[in-house]
Structure 1
Amino acid sequence: MLKLGILDQSLVGEGHTAIETLAATTRLAIEADTMGYSRYWVSEHHGSKGLAHSSPEVLIGYLASHTNRIRVGSGGIMMPHYSAYKVAENFKLLEALYPGRIDLGIGHATGSLPLATSVLQEGRDPENNYSRQVGDLVAYLHDAMPANHRFPELVASPSVPTAPELWLLGSSGKTAELAAEVGASYAFAHFIIFAAGGPEATALYRERFKPTLMKSKSQSLAAVIVICADTEEEARKLDSSVALYYQELAKGKEIPFFPTVETAERYPYTEDELEKLKAGRAKRVVGNPEQVKQGLTMLAEEYQAHELLLLSPIHDVEARLRSYRLLAKAFGMQ
């Protein structure tokens, strides 16, 4: 059976506040827990008023305390900004508080505009490359420091019998190869407009996966934008907000809010922009429950994945909850 999880970017909707957005995120996490979703990931972005948070490790602890069963994690921690040692400490603490329920998804992008990136990385070691960070993180999480390591006696606290599940997030074959090399799980960001070759990257990951102390076999998923409503017409209407938001994001613009359907429908698109919208829509799964179930099933088969992570950026909170409820019912989740 195909497992479904949720990715929540906590986009601040037009006319709403960050406080209201975080309340909606918490409400969705609680409902996702009862509906049978597999995991709930929150993202990391910096320097934008249109996002309700920039510290997934803080929000993860809060959401885990309000849920009972669902795995809660990061999608993901942007490693260029941080020490692998400190990330390991944060997530080992979360694992100690919520054993067997914490996911640590990491990425090598910055998740921020240039100014925020330069401030976050002020004084950072330029030699602290991603591959080395990943290797360090594995060692810290599992108390398995190699004898030839730079800090062979260093221990990341607290000491716990389990470790967070490590996921490498990417949109290329390079990340897939690294995930396979270290024996981590791999998540492909299918929803990113410029991301291509997802099925091929995931196949490469499975082919080259090396069993390690973390995992004995490969585990992968794809993250996709899904808009589900009672009718296809309603779903297409809700998707108009998504189209406008990600078009502006692709231009490198700072977006102060996630637009309403009304704002999106009033936007004066150029012919060139309308053409680009078609490419964006091809990456999303939009429609009524039957259409969306078919689309997600086909996508899972394309990726040969047993799990998909669903991102449903819908301005209206009730419509957003309805989208996830319809999906849960369509897939027979409990």
Structure 2
Amino acid sequence: MPSVPPSGNAPFALSVLDNAHTGVGQTAEEAFGEIVALAQLAERRGYRRFWMSEHHGMPGASTSSPQLMLARLTGETDRIRLGAGGVMLPNHAPLVVAEQFGMLDALAPGRIDLGLGRAPGTDLPTAAALRRHHDANDGFPQQVLELIGFLGDDFPEGHPYRNVHAVPGPWQADQNRVPRPRTAPDVWILGSSPYSARLAGQLGRPYAFALQFGDADAVTAVRLYRESFRPSDVLDEPYTLVSVGVVADDDPDEAGRQAASSAMAMLRMFQRKPYGLLPPEEVEAYPATLQERQILDSYTRRFVNGTGPEVATTLEELHARTGVDEVMLVVMGHSRRAQAQTVEVVADHYSLSSS
């Protein structure tokens, strides 16, 4: 994986993650159309990557399969890297994921990222319906190794999957007497804990730290990743990314209102209600208790919001603390227009190249 230069005037590379947020009053069809437009916008404005996440059973998040949306985006973009941030591997068979991402790499050679996480991306009953076992997390490292083995078709002699092959992939090319693929998906380890940091380092893979979920210790995790890093055949030096929820707008009040909508969605989860994105007007009218108000205020602040300079100041403070190579904007808010505005405002502030 080559080093990635900073984006524009930013001291780090900039990327975008879309949770396929689908607010109250919006259909999935409308959201998908807006996702295509946002990926194209991110490409035009010079962002490095556009990732999508896996969630299940949430009215406010429409990508139960980021792979399907990425397949569409391979034909709607030309240069930007596309990826899953991430695939929740214990929900899937590693062979199937290898096959799917082999197909994506064949559609967009050299542009595909495969971020792997171990959380279910949903509640426990839905996880059970996905046939996810209660101890699924325990086997995550072995699943990652299996997936990497399928992608490279390089299981050692005696391995039970030595003669099992992911198609498309190197084995198919050999059988069909054509050159092996020149590229393969970049495999990332995702997480928000020391566990994921150490695993990424031991495997010699790039590491993406998810800061949008809570007050996890990014500084310690990134340090542990670097300390445990072992060079691999895909990465000579540690490479780190931190993702953070962001709403940027020329009007700071509007940015705050959109961030509050995402904060309400988190509060609803704490209340064991579906993750839904209510319009800002409904959030403002909600008669919150003192405890609920504290949660709402906490998450509204956690989702970085404000004008371009205000957001940039917070991102640069985060970079100063962590030294990460890349910052990924997790676009937040009820309105898809607000999410596009975030991409534009941050790009304008850092003078990202337009094309």
- Shorter-chain TM band: over 0.9
1:308 and 1:128 mapped to 2: Cα distance? 29
Aligned pairs, how many? 332
- Cα 1:127–1:323 shift into 2, 3 Å: closer
Partner of 1:5: 15
Instruction: Give the partner amino acid of 1:284.
Output: F
2:348 and 2:68 mapped to 1: Cα distance? 31
**Equivalent of 1:202 in 207, 211, 222:** 222
Are the counterparts in 2 of residues 91 and 104 from structure 1 also a CA contact under 8 Å? yes
Per the normalisation by structure 2, the TM-score is: 0.89
1:131 and 1:320 mapped to 2: Cα distance? 34
Instruction: Give the partner amino acid of 2:228.
Output: R
Instruction: Give the partner amino acid of 1:265.
Output: E
**Equivalent of 2:330 in 311, 316, 327:** 311
**Equivalent of 2:298 in 244, 262, 279:** 279
2:126 and 2:292 mapped to 1: Cα distance? 28
Deviation at 1:139, TM superposition (A): 1.5
Are the counterparts in 2 of residues 241 and 261 from structure 1 also a CA contact under 8 Å? yes
Q: Does 1:239 align with 2:239?
A: no
Instruction: Give the partner amino acid of 1:164.
Output: P
Partner of 1:166: 187
Paired residue secondary structure (1:100) = coil
**Equivalent of 2:54 in 32, 44, 51:** 44
Paired residue secondary structure (1:37) = coil
Partner of 2:203: 182
Per the normalisation by structure 1, the TM-score is: 0.94
Paired residue secondary structure (2:299) = helix
Q: Does 1:18 align with 2:18?
A: no
**Equivalent of 1:105 in 115, 118, 128:** 115
Partner of 1:321: 340
Paired residue secondary structure (1:309) = strand
Are the counterparts in 2 of residues 80 and 121 from structure 1 also a CA contact under 8 Å? no
Partner of 1:140: 150
- Cα 1:316–1:138 shift into 2, 3 Å: same
Paired residue secondary structure (1:144) = coil
Deviation at 1:212, TM superposition (A): 1.0
Instruction: Give the partner amino acid of 2:92.
Output: Y
Partner of 2:174: none
Partner of 1:225: 245
1:97 and 1:298 mapped to 2: Cα distance? 38
Deviation at 1:228, TM superposition (A): 0.7
Are the counterparts in 2 of residues 222 and 305 from structure 1 also a CA contact under 8 Å? yes
Q: Does 1:120 align with 2:120?
A: no
**Equivalent of 2:71 in 61, 70, 76:** 61
Deviation at 1:53, TM superposition (A): 2.5
Q: Does 1:213 align with 2:233?
A: yes
Are the counterparts in 1 of residues 90 and 137 from structure 2 also a CA contact under 8 Å? no
Are the counterparts in 1 of residues 118 and 137 from structure 2 also a CA contact under 8 Å? no
Post-superposition CA distance 1:135-168 (Å, at most 9, x none): 1111111222123432223322222232101111
Q: Does 1:78 align with 2:97?
A: no
Q: Which runs of 5+ in 1 are unaligned?
A: none
Deviation at 1:15, TM superposition (A): 0.8
Are the counterparts in 1 of residues 255 and 305 from structure 2 also a CA contact under 8 Å? yes
Instruction: Give the partner amino acid of 1:18.
Output: A
Aligned residues: CA RMSD = 1.9
Paired residue secondary structure (1:129) = helix
**Equivalent of 2:287 in 268, 284, 297:** 268
Are the counterparts in 1 of residues 258 and 332 from structure 2 also a CA contact under 8 Å? no
Deviation at 1:71, TM superposition (A): 0.5
Deviation at 1:282, TM superposition (A): 4.1
- Cα 1:234–1:47 shift into 2, 3 Å: closer
Partner of 2:161: 151
1:123 and 1:221 mapped to 2: Cα distance? 30
2:329 and 2:67 mapped to 1: Cα distance? 20
Are the counterparts in 2 of residues 139 and 146 from structure 1 also a CA contact under 8 Å? no
Post-superposition CA distance 1:176-206 (Å, at most 9, x none): 111111111111110102x511111011101
After superposing on structure 2, the runs of 4+ consecutive aligned residues of structure 1 that deviate more than 6 Å are: 122-128
Paired residue secondary structure (1:224) = strand
2:324 and 2:188 mapped to 1: Cα distance? 15
Paired residue secondary structure (2:302) = coil
Instruction: Give the partner amino acid of 1:261.
Output: P
Paired residue secondary structure (2:324) = coil
Q: Which runs of 5+ in 2 are unaligned?
A: 1-5, 7-11, 171-180
